[in-house]
Structure 1
Amino acid sequence: MKNILKPALAAGIAIASLSAPLAIAPAAAQSAPTIGIVNLRAIVVNSAAYSTAEEQRQTTYKAQIDQANARRTAIQQQLQPLVQKLQTDSQSGNVDQAALQQQAAQIQQIQEAGQRELQQILAPVIRSQAYVEEQINDQLQPALQAAAQKKGVSLVLTPDTVVYADNSYNINQAVLDELNTLLPSAQIVPPEGWVPREVREQQAQQQAAQAAQAPAQQQPAAPAVSGR
């Protein structure tokens, strides 16, 4: 690993004697950073706050979840005979392509409308999930830093950037322990008016852009200079 991260600095090194190649080893030997590998998403979903919130959400939002499940079943029952008819008609000897396209369009329309309806029913549940994950993500970086410091890790990588590594480099559990200490549980019901961070950032950017444009719009136009 040292040779991969710290290539030998051959340029500029003069070898005095070929009979004593080990004489240059101390100059080339340098301390490499201690490496840790973490799967951040796995840490989030395995955290105590996330797991507890998932359980609590089934009770807190039971009405919405039950309504969505019932509506999903109804939509599937509505679609089933239409899909079967489309399959049967498409396999018949006398295929009417226009009719098949009309049937397929009807099925797609029902599916899309049903998806929008389900998203509307489950909007409070989705909002709760985003709220919980934001609370966890707020503590994820401090947990990572604390775990790295305790283990003496100076370089942290994610699994998708690593081709191979021994399991001893894995610090998932250490980060998870720190996260559970910092955030043992999370609030699952967002406060009134709460929106996800990315939405807040977009709103802030829009407000900043509008504020920057306002002074320019309020400045009086320069008086015209009349020629003589």
Structure 2
Amino acid sequence: MKILLKSALAAGLALGTLAAPLATAPAVAQTRAPGVAIVNIPAVVANSAAYKQAEQQRPVTYKQFYDQAEQRRAAIGAQLQPLYTELQTLQQSANPDRNRMQQLSQQIQQIEANGQRELQQILAPVILSQAYVEEQINAQLSPAIKTAADKNGITLVISPDNVLYADSTYNLNQAVLTELDALLPSVQIVPPQGWLPAELREQQAQAQAQQQAAPAAAAPAASGR
């Protein structure tokens, strides 16, 4: 069983925010209907000891990057404020200069886009840390779910995405969380030098395989000339 978590590298960072909390796990009943159970993976991960520890440590370990990003965000906001004010004034005027309004809109969009890229570059080590933590937790999710299912007589585990209704007896969150915490009480938040998320490692491996295959494919063509 393979559990997929959305990589932090794929998540954009808004100019006004640096982090967003995940939903908490719902309460778990004492008894469950046999055979089938529902597990909310994001809720389990967010409530795991390893994830909480990482979330507490990261602002300390990466404080310089958070501070730098906040300073840059404030500077971008200060740069945008007079443009917003001028645009709003023009919009409220009786005879607005539409050429100037278009110019301001384009300028604002460009500054926002550039600012977004800057913040992502500044926070790249933080994003990489998030991906590293998620990958460590992801590696233990499958065995945690299997152990929890075996202990509770569950033969089918589903996510809540496609469930229209189920009462709390089908909730296996706490059982999975208990097993996950036992398997992985803590994680490393600083990736090794040169570490890349699995998605990027796979892309590199595919590119390398294609490069190695190219000379082999060219050899028969050359010998036939």
Coarse TM-score class (shorter-chain normalised): 0.7 to 0.9
Identify which range, 160-169 or 177-186, moves more after superposition.
160-169
What is the Cα deviation at residue 137 of structure 1? 0.3
1:214 Cα offset (Å)? 2.3
Identity, % of aligned positions? 61
SS of the aligned residue for 1:155 comes to: strand
Q: Which residue of 1 aligns with 2:17?
A: none
SS of equivalent residue, structure 2 residue 157: strand
Aligned to 2:161: 160
Instruction: State which drifts further: 107-116 or 146-155.
Output: 107-116
Look up the equivalent residue of 1:207 and give its one-letter code.
Q
| CA displacement, residues 10-54 of structure 1 (integer Å, 9 cap, x when unaligned) | xxxxxxxxxxxxxxxxxxxxxx97101000111111111110001
Q: Could you list the runs of 5+ residues in structure 1 that have no partner in the other structure?
A: 1-31, 224-228
Q: Is the 8 A contact 2:49 2:185 kept in 1?
A: yes
Residue 206 in structure 1 maps to residue 210 in structure 2: no
Picking from 198, 202, 221, the partner of 2:223 is 221
- 1:188 aligns to what? 189
State the Cα distance separating 1:209 from its structure 2 match: 2.3
Question: Computing the radius of gyration over CA atoms, which structure comes out larger, 1 or 2?
Answer: 1
Larger deviation, residues 69-78 vs 213-222: 213-222
1:120-159, aligned counterparts within 5 Å?
120-159=121-160
- Between the two proteins, the alignment pairs up a number of residues equal to 192
Deviation (angstroms), 1:213: 2.6
- Taking structure 2 as the reference length, the TM-score comes to 0.82
Local SS of the residue matching 1:78? helix
Q: CA-to-partner distance for each residue in 1:169-211, whole Å, 9 max, x for gaps?
A: 1000000010001110000000011000001111112222222
Distance 1:177 1:208 in 2: 41
The answer for the alignment partner of 2:71 in structure 1 is 70
In structure 2, list runs of 5 or more residues that go unmatched.
Answer: 1-32
Structure possessing the higher relative contact order (Cα contacts under 8 Å, 6 or more residues apart):
2
Task: Give the aligned CA root-mean-square deviation in angstroms.
Answer: 1.4
